[in-house]
A and B are shown apart, each in its own frame.
Chain A
């Protein structure tokens, strides 16, 4: 290699091209000019693949989209800003914009807040590394996998979705476990039971205390029968004592056939845990009881007189099924929940790093001066963490505006429109059946415009770091 090229200083020095020794300043010689050309050629070779790809697949599409967004769906007619005004009139797009706004307002703030609280608390435990690792793990997996995970967790059926299993469990422990047979009914043509307007049943004829009243129902599928249900025949025959009405509530259906309607046959099982009421002639409930495993009940403490036996409406009410997480009202909060499952670890680790680089002695001094933990937290920790919290918040805002996969995966078909967001609407309009590439391009440009502030922020931050 010649002496001229070996004397090349690093490119960051701004002093112009290098001068070989003995060359007059201001009039570079032929070898130096050759060297400059040669260096530029090398630089071009190093940059070529990157600039080609960025130019063809990033820069050109931006220009193309801006132009395309000013034409109609077919691309033949120039409509100016028509697509941009349509955007705010088309109900589906408007809803997507509204939902995206909900995302931007709630998700970044919730994530930053939760990350901050967890980061501060994590500082105080020994297994913080393990905890951070666990919380960060969802960052590794795809939105698709996370979407499948949460689609299952949010299933409406409490037998499948863990969230509703917990919700129903809490509901039942607060309200008391209610057992009901929503499908049960009196046998067609059964004259002994009359249906009440509220859905319950009452015996047509009254009985005086000391009698046995058996109530036969049909319409409970074998799979819906509780395992605890026992044969009712024995209890059905036992006589009632003074001041009481007793009997069984049973399923008037003999498995395998052969039973007689209206009779408690051998093998017919009682309906357990049902409420039974005695109603006096004024229509007032005089006594209540709950059926046992064999369907038997005892209504005691009854004064003499005629009573009707009643199965109240709640015996036939559909059971509490939990919350419709994937229904139209809750779908967006539900998806934001899944999003938080993924991103909280990010906020936690970033804020945690900020915390551990904080001056310990400031916190210690404040504690020495008698500040309690809350004062230390919101007077010192939070202000000092300001820049880190800002970075987390801004990062989340940028990410949330582009959210697509999670909504696409978690929202079931019928509620997709209720969960719609900008990026999804852009997809649906352009490719998912809408086939309006004019409006689709306009939505793409809108997405780009929304991240322009972040773009400016990046550029300013970079230029400042270079000075």
Chain B
């Protein structure tokens, strides 16, 4: 843009400045209110998790703002002494970490094959995978429950992992195949010329180059499984249930169980929040790409 035009713009802007500043203030105030509205329900649960059962029963959490000294970590201490909840927390870890690894490894292998290997029917098989992107997990619940029952996997952590892995794969393969396909052909040809076998090309070229996509996928997949309730509600039993399932069983007496539910909810969401803040960029990309599921 030339300086003449630039200064014309500036002059015009200067003329509209007071009105603009006013509207900007209004916008700022409006967004501030929206932000507060978004924060309030979560802050409410957090403060409730720091209040005693009696305090929660007799007054609103907002009264704690005027007497913050009454807040304590007692509920959390009690929660961590509850062996069922602690077990459920570790179950959540034992389900989500292996699932994430399995999905990444299996999808990377398949993604590489779909992107760079030639075999009959490749394009058709991949279209089937694309079609599976939006298949709702609900359709798998009953048949897989029967299948797992026959295999002795029903109610066990490996069963939950297998189910999650299968339903995570279409999106994972789709994402990685498309990302791998963007890798310049010359790089692969050069590697193959150099006598690299497929395994070596996969592990030493494709995986390192695909790291950004793999990171986004891993984060998305981890959160999806960590936050799942539906699948575990069916496939896990009392011994293998994750935190979400353990907590939902307390919802029936919501009023009298806030002392467990509020800190429990925070125990379950602290890990996703850490992931969120640690990997913001990958996180947003992963959610964005994965939202089509």
The answer to whether A384 has its CB under 8 Å from any CB of chain B is: no
In Å, the complex CA distance between A451 and B133 comes to 10
The answer to whether A357 has its CB under 8 Å from any CB of chain B is: no
Nearest CB of A to B211, in Å: 19
The answer to whether B209 has its CB under 8 Å from any CB of chain A is: no
Contacts of B173 in A (CB 8 A): 50
Closest to B195 in A: A1
Residue in B109, B136, B188 whose Cβ sees the most chain A Cβ within 10 Å = B136
Closest to A440 in B: B142
Interface pair B142/A444, CB less than 8 Å apart: yes
Closest to A118 in B: B34
The answer to whether A324 has its CB under 8 Å from any CB of chain B is: no
The answer to whether A140 has its CB under 8 Å from any CB of chain B is: yes
Interface pair B136/A423, CB less than 8 Å apart: yes
| Interface bits B243-256 vs A (CB < 8 Å: 1, else 0) | 01001100110110
The answer to whether A250 has its CB under 8 Å from any CB of chain B is: no
Q: What DSSP secondary structure best describes chain A's contact surface? A: helix
The answer to whether B2 has its CB under 8 Å from any CB of chain A is: no
The answer to whether B97 has its CB under 8 Å from any CB of chain A is: no
Closest to B224 in A: A142
| Interface bits A435-455 vs B (CB < 8 Å: 1, else 0) | 001001101110110010011
Contact segment of A56-64, A88-96, A213-221, A313-321: A56-64
The answer to whether A134 has its CB under 8 Å from any CB of chain B is: yes
Interface pair B113/A47, CB less than 8 Å apart: yes
Among B28, B262, B272, the residue within 8 A (CB) of A140 is: B272
Interface pair A148/B261, CB less than 8 Å apart: yes
The answer to whether A167 has its CB under 8 Å from any CB of chain B is: no
Among B56, B144, B192, the residue within 8 A (CB) of A8 is: B192
Contacts of B122 in A (CB 8 A): 11
Nearest CB of B to A164, in Å: 9
User: Contacts A62-B139, A121-B30, A444-B139 hold; do A138 and B38 have CB atoms under 8 A apart?
Assistant: yes
User: Contacts A142-B269, A149-B265, A454-B134 hold; do A459 and B60 have CB atoms under 8 A apart?
Assistant: no
User: Contacts A10-B189, A409-B248, A444-B138 hold; do A139 and B287 have CB atoms under 8 A apart?
Assistant: yes
Interface pair A131/B166, CB less than 8 Å apart: no
B residues contacting the other copy or chain, number (CB 8 A): 110
In Å, the complex CA distance between A316 and B138 comes to 52
The answer to whether B107 has its CB under 8 Å from any CB of chain A is: yes
Interface pair A349/B284, CB less than 8 Å apart: yes
A residues contacting the other copy or chain, number (CB 8 A): 103
Interface pair B143/A12, CB less than 8 Å apart: no
| Interface bits A30-63 vs B (CB < 8 Å: 1, else 0) | 0000000001101110110111011011111110
Nearest CB of A to B261, in Å: 5
The answer to whether B68 has its CB under 8 Å from any CB of chain A is: no
| Interface bits A203-221 vs B (CB < 8 Å: 1, else 0) | 0000000000000000000
| Interface bits B162-183 vs A (CB < 8 Å: 1, else 0) | 1101110110010000000100
> Which chain A residues (49-100) contact chain B, with CB distance < 8 Å?
49-51, 53-54, 56-62, 64-65, 68
Among B9, B273, B283, the residue within 8 A (CB) of A368 is: B9
Contacts of A60 in B (CB 8 A): 143, 147
Interface pair B141/A430, CB less than 8 Å apart: yes
| Interface bits B17-61 vs A (CB < 8 Å: 1, else 0) | 000000110011011001100111110110010000000101111
Contacts of A152 in B (CB 8 A): 41, 44-45, 48, 258, 262
In Å, the complex CA distance between A451 and B45 comes to 35
User: Contacts A133-B280, A441-B142, A448-B135 hold; do A12 and B39 have CB atoms under 8 A apart?
Assistant: no
Interface pair A451/B227, CB less than 8 Å apart: no
The answer to whether B205 has its CB under 8 Å from any CB of chain A is: no
Contact segment of A170-178, A228-236, A267-275, A399-407: A399-407
In Å, the complex CA distance between A129 and B137 comes to 34
In Å, the complex CA distance between A431 and B116 comes to 43
> Which chain A residues (117-137) contact chain B, with CB distance < 8 Å?
118, 121-122, 124-125, 131, 133-137
Closest to A16 in B: B118
Among A1, A51, A140, A454, the residue within 8 A (CB) of B197 is: A1
User: Contacts A42-B117, A152-B44, A451-B135 hold; do A54 and B27 have CB atoms under 8 A apart?
Assistant: no
Nearest CB of B to A60, in Å: 7
Contacts of A43 in B (CB 8 A): 113, 117-119
The answer to whether B217 has its CB under 8 Å from any CB of chain A is: no
Among A50, A56, A141, A341, the residue within 8 A (CB) of B147 is: A56
Nearest CB of B to A431, in Å: 6
User: Contacts A53-B165, A144-B244, A447-B136 hold; do A430 and B142 have CB atoms under 8 A apart?
Assistant: yes
Residue in B39, B106, B131, B143 whose Cβ sees the most chain A Cβ within 10 Å = B143
In Å, the complex CA distance between A158 and B61 comes to 11
The answer to whether B87 has its CB under 8 Å from any CB of chain A is: no
The answer to whether B86 has its CB under 8 Å from any CB of chain A is: no
Interface pair A143/B134, CB less than 8 Å apart: no
Contacts of B261 in A (CB 8 A): 148
- Would you list the 9 A-B pairs with minimal beta carbon distance, nearest first? A142-B227, A57-B166, A11-B118, A61-B143, A50-B110, A46-B113, A64-B143, A140-B276, A141-B269
Q: A56-B147, A58-B140, A448-B139 are in contact. List 8 more A-B contacts (CB 8 A).
A: A39-B118, A125-B31, A160-B60, A373-B23, A423-B136, A427-B141, A451-B135, A458-B131
